[in-house]
Amino acid sequence: MSEPDLVIDAKELTKVYGTGGSEVHALRGVDLDVRRGEMMAIMGASGSGKSTLMNILGCLDQPTDGVYVLNGARVDGLDRDQLADIRNREIGFVFQGFNLLARTTALDNVELPLLYDRSGRKLDSKALARDALERVGLGDRMDHQPSELSGGQQQRVAIARALVTNPTLILADEPTGNLDTHTSVEVLALFQELNAQGVTVLLVTHEPDIAAYAPRIMELRDGLVVRDHATVARQHAVLDPGGGEPVEPVESLKATS
């Protein structure tokens, strides 16, 4: 039995790619529990298994072995259609490359996941999309297409699109990977603000300076959890002009931006 406030309850997850002599053991027994309302970072070097774990947690792929309970429901072993239903209902995704539709307004991009809603609920999808864009501070950009928005604004549209279905969990895989330092901190500040409003956020990154914005960091190495600890999360000043500390430089990002 899993506790009612556990959003993720995963035990002994393994993932093996390939067969015979070319097997890759991408996950070698990962345990993870995430409570409702948590914000955590999954960190690890390239090849450590972050995306593999993210794909399993996000119901995009199945583990080779292990037990995965998402929001109280057993997920491992479900077929593709069942997995897709759970995914659409429970998960909001944010990707490194934003993945917005070109020549489509912010409003229409954000509305899109609601048009796939098969729950039979009667939704005012335009109103919900407008609300989501207001929440990420883009109430004045609803009619803009991605090409008319900055990288940070595009990622905020993507975050609004992830929020609009009111998912149990937001999964963000390297969400600041395409952004400069200042914009990265703004996006992390937005995740912190949403988390303070109760949204559960899982952030995947290979950057310690990005993970530092999460109050809990789990570290993967070669498909195993080597560390899972609470931190004093780095705070932002960007969305809080009335107080807080100045924006700290993100050292390792400065080199690449």
Ligand X SMILES: Nc1ncnc2c1ncn2[C@@H]1O[C@H](COP(=O)(O)OP(=O)(O)O)[C@@H](O)[C@H]1O
Binding site for ligand X (CB under 6 A): 17-18, 24, 26, 44, 46-52
In the complex with ligand X, which residue's Cβ is closer, 96 or 145?
96
- Among ligand X, Mg ion, none, the one that 18 touches (CB under a kind-dependent 5 to 8 A) is ligand X
With contact defined as beta carbons under 8 Å apart, do 175 and 183 qualify? Answer: no
How far from 130 is each of 2, 101, 119, CA to CA, in Å? 36, 17, 21
In whole angstroms, the minimum distance from the beta carbon of 55 to ligand X comes to: 8
**Which structure tokens are listed for 47?**
């090849």
Q: What minimum distance in Å lies between the beta carbon of 99 and Mg ion? A: 15
Spatial contact of 201 and 172, defined as CB atoms under 8 Å apart: yes
Min. distance of Cβ 18 from ligand X in angstroms? 6
Cβ distance to Mg ion smaller for residue 6 or 60? 60
Question: Closest residue (Cβ) to Mg ion?
Answer: 51
Residue-wise over 114-144: b if at least 16 C-beta within 10 A, else e? Answer: beeeeeeeebebeebbbebbebbebeebbeb
Across 160-179, b (16+ Cβ under 10 Å) vs e yields bbbbbbebbbbbbbbbbbbb
**Beta-strand runs (E) in 123-194:** 169-173
Residue from 51, 165, 195, 205 binding Mg ion (CB under 5 A): 51
User: Could you tell me the smallest distance in angstroms from the CB atom of residue 46 to Mg ion?
Assistant: 7
Q: What is the number of residues in the chain?
A: 257
Closest separation in Å from C-beta 2 to Mg ion: 27
Q: Using CB distances below 5 to 8 A depending on partner kind, what does residue 138 bind out of ligand X, Mg ion, none?
A: none
Q: Which does 17 bind (CB under 5 to 8 A by kind): Mg ion, ligand X, none?
A: ligand X
* Residue 5 interaction partner, one of Mg ion, ligand X, none, beta carbon < 5-8 Å per kind: none
DSSP state of 175: T
168 binds, among ligand X, Mg ion, none (CB under 5 to 8 A by kind): none
Kindly tell me which of 6 and 224 has the beta carbon lying closer to ligand X. Answer: 224
What is the smallest separation between the CB atom of 131 and ligand X, expressed in angstroms?
A: 33
Which one of ligand X, Mg ion, none interacts with residue 24, CB within 5 to 8 A by kind? ligand X
SS3 65: strand
Phi first, then psi: what are they for 205, rounded to 5°?
-155, 155
Q: Which residues form the interface with Mg ion (CB under 5 A)?
A: 50-51
